[in-house]
Amino acid sequence: MRAAAVALLGLLLVACASHPRQPAPASPAETELRQRILEEALAQLGRPYRYGGGDHAGFDCSGLVLHVYRDAGIELPRTAAQQRRHGRAVAPEAARPGDLFFYRIDGGDHVVVYIGDGRAVHAPRPGRTVTIAEVNRDWWKKRLVGARRLIGAGV
């Protein structure tokens, strides 16, 4: 009888250990903050790319992120490389809307605001406007260097 109980306990422990940990649900304040970030990011669609830009006259990638987060009351440094040192790393598949994805493109750093469903808002390059990218495509995946969370528990 004791052997059966020990075996059953062992099976239960293995089953519990194999369950992936579910993320903690977002607080109402976090949900509201993420919504504000998404709304501001989406409001910039169509604005021109402008190197060094960080206002409605035009944005570069890190200027867009700086603007969107500042509007939500979160201060960040100016460049994508500096922004990548803030918050905490998250697996891209665990990203939530409002998290940031960082890329290495043509030797430079690039940052986008993840909006969910494999899409992100970004300021791509001169001659283009702020747009939505499908970041689940292979082109993006090959250049991904990390995702960061600046909002929520543990940040």
Q: How far is CA 117 from the centre of its chain?
A: 12
For the chain, the average pLDDT equals 87
Domain assignments of the chain as residue spans, ordered by start: 27-149
pTM: 0.83
Q: So which residues are the catalytic ones?
A: 61, 110, 122
At the top level of CATH, which class does the domain 27-149 belong to?
Answer: alpha beta
Residue for token digits 């940052």?
A: 111
Structure tokens at 19: 């369950």
- pLDDT-derived band of residue 19, with 50, 70 and 90 as boundaries? very low
| Whether the predicted pLDDT of 106 surpasses 50 | yes
Q: What angle do CA 121, 126, 132 make, to 5 degrees?
A: 15
- pLDDT-derived band of residue 152, with 50, 70 and 90 as boundaries? confident
Strand partners, 60: none
d(CA 136, CA 129): 20
